[in-house]
Amino acid sequence: DAGVIQSPRHEVTEMGQEVTLRCKPISGHDYLFWYRQTMMRGLELLIYFNNNVPIDDSGMPEDRFSAKMPNASFSTLKIQPSEPRDSAVYFCASQGIGEAFFGQGTRLTVV
C-alpha cells in the first residue's frame, strides 16, 4: 500500500477563493482524520470519520470548513471562502486496528 495520499502537496490561493484538499486513506482502514498544524496551535483535530460517517466535527473552526467522505477510499476538506488565517499544513490520517498513519500533508497558503 502506498500509504495515505494527500493532494495537492502545496496550495497557494487568494483570499476568498474556494480550496479543496483531498485524501486517499489506506485501504481497509475504518477511521479517517483531518488535522491542521500551525506553529501557534500545534496539531488540531478538525473532524474524523468512521466507516465514511462523520463522528466528531467539533474541531471544525467555522462554517467555512466542510468535509466529506463519499466512499471508503476518498475524503475532501473544503474551505469556502478561504482567509489568510487558514494558512497551515493540513494532514489526513487513517487508522484501522492499532496505529494511525499520516499523509505528507498539504501546505496551504492564503494570500
> What are the residues binding another protein (CB under 8 A)?
31, 33, 35, 42-43, 45, 48, 50, 55-56, 91, 93, 95, 98-105
Contact 52, 72 (CB under 8 A): yes
Distance CA 81, CA 99 (A): 34
Q: Which is nearer to another protein, 16 or 61 (CB)?
A: 61
Q: Which is nearer to another protein, 15 or 43 (CB)?
A: 43
Work out how close the CB of 94 gets to another protein at its nearest, in angstroms, rounded to a whole number.
11
Contact 60, 47 (CB under 8 A): yes
Work out how close the CB of 44 gets to another protein at its nearest, in angstroms, rounded to a whole number.
8
Distance CA 50, CA 74 (A): 13
Q: Which is nearer to another protein, 5 or 81 (CB)?
A: 5
Task: Please report how many Cα atoms fall inside a 13 Å half-sphere around the Cα of residue 7, on the Cβ side.
Answer: 3
Work out how close the CB of 80 gets to another protein at its nearest, in angstroms, rounded to a whole number.
25
